Chains A and B, each alone.
Chain A
């Protein structure tokens, strides 16, 4: 794990270390495929790319702000109630996300239903607070939050892409391929797209497990140092 304490520096700079905070979670220390955190919500919301995108934005928001606040309070939080204080911070932010989403995009709110609430127990957020924000300054913690939130979001979108494309023949709700030509706007130029019968298995829950499993496989075959020997 790359959870080293970033050297104490005065002022806000953006050097090698800060860049590492942002880019590490995208691949080498990805929250889903390497740290194995936050799987629950990754599976349920990846039936379509729109839901995945909304979820990714929500997680980035909660990750960044909870990291920031925890880091601000890191010296005043009493040790005995550390967990509860962290959970209250996260739960508050998640409630804010829920209330906002309900006002801004009611359709997505309906579709994501209980899974918005489950961001609270998304282990990425709690895990980053414990492993990083409690020991580092606010600025670094924000960068760590962005990195991990985005790293999570990328995997979410990749999984959702495969599930929506092969499961419904759509991307972001727009028909791309399908069993007949009738859904195409211009049938003269793109007739070849009307041959695909949607694979309903891809929309079902277990397919998310398969897609993530295969992603991990590909990721580790590409970066062999991530392979766990156990």
Chain B
């Protein structure tokens, strides 16, 4: 057995993972990052739009401050977030953007003087102050009071990922690609690393560590229609959940992005609407301004996706061979803007649609995009249930997003949370010693070896992994998409339980040798179906509508009963998740109230409950 040792093992080398790694490496700890792809191919690099930080440098961001950013984030979350965490995030974000500038990110900067921008298809004028020339500028995103999203063209994730990976190279961090963690090493109390499958040779290896951080991104690929890269398949969630000790927070909180292109579900950035693009229906007429007079196309994603779905159900969708869709219109932004600020969008339209967005409309519809759901951690990023295990980024439920995250807040979260949690891991590691139980390492290694042998030999059955996966994906699309209701969710749970049974009887069709993809898929299918069941059961039991979770049969946001976070555990040999609940936020800076968009009624929380938790601020 090939065995590696490090002080900190980071599973996943996207933005969150590498940012977590940097702090420990700077302090002289030995750090290893594992990634299933070369780090720069991580899905962080696909994020186009930008990162929210209340720098307030641009004219339309004037007067911005972390308090306003905090408020937008809490409203965006539909009061589902942990307000302590949202506060930590909003305060640290501007500093982190400056740190990234210092490390090398080519942020777009303030250009002084007169310029034009579009909103709702109309042209407006703005003046950038000469004294702010050259500071980091920002663009508009949905659900925000100010222009706050820092960006590098529409390749922000890519640009920041390059810089972060450069920083890791500079610090000599071992970033190993083509390594997939398939099980955590733990004794029921403490995590001591992971068993890893090498995606060069197919061999198993043991990575032993004092501290382990899971930073593997979201799990959108368990849906059929998703903007996510094929690597966003829940691998990190599964190894945590498989311990039986670690809960998935708010599994029912899944975001659907308004502008996935049809048919490939590739994302075109929210920046299109932020920069003034509009949504049109079959008659090429705007509709968001009717549903949301105030925010229009720039309401939060859950709200826009909901109205788009509603509008298509009213018969206003465009019919196509790939089902109904609506149009995104950025024609009026003009050639220069599209060629410089929306380049990726331009390329995607060209390569995947054969459309020129300067003269033609872009076919779009809501598509799975983001998992607010994730491995539940405390505000230090320490995972519930296992000592020495941390988590950051989309994979985690830290939880600043609650039931809907704002555009530009997730990419910012990767580096801001990465920085905060990275520092907490340093505190944890300083002076910390542990005993590595080699019997546990050997047992787990053998167990995983056996699992692989069983899949190859077909000992458990001959189900085709791709068929099983497809049935899981279809079930989620049917029951757990933008709108949900009791009877459909009950059916989905039943369907998924049958799929789970089949997932236990997979047998490979191929030989499973080397970097075999069928084996990789088979190793995680059971865990994926369990995640799917957590979504469905969590959604079934949550009898209210909050953020992205819309129950047609329970349209009110019910703060009296559901101002809570779901904690979903999977106990060994169970056929359904065990759902527990905790308060959504230990404290309130902003008491539960109206978002100002999205409509709907609220069943208020108990006044005394809210009062007891209000933070008293010194004025």
Does B bind A? no
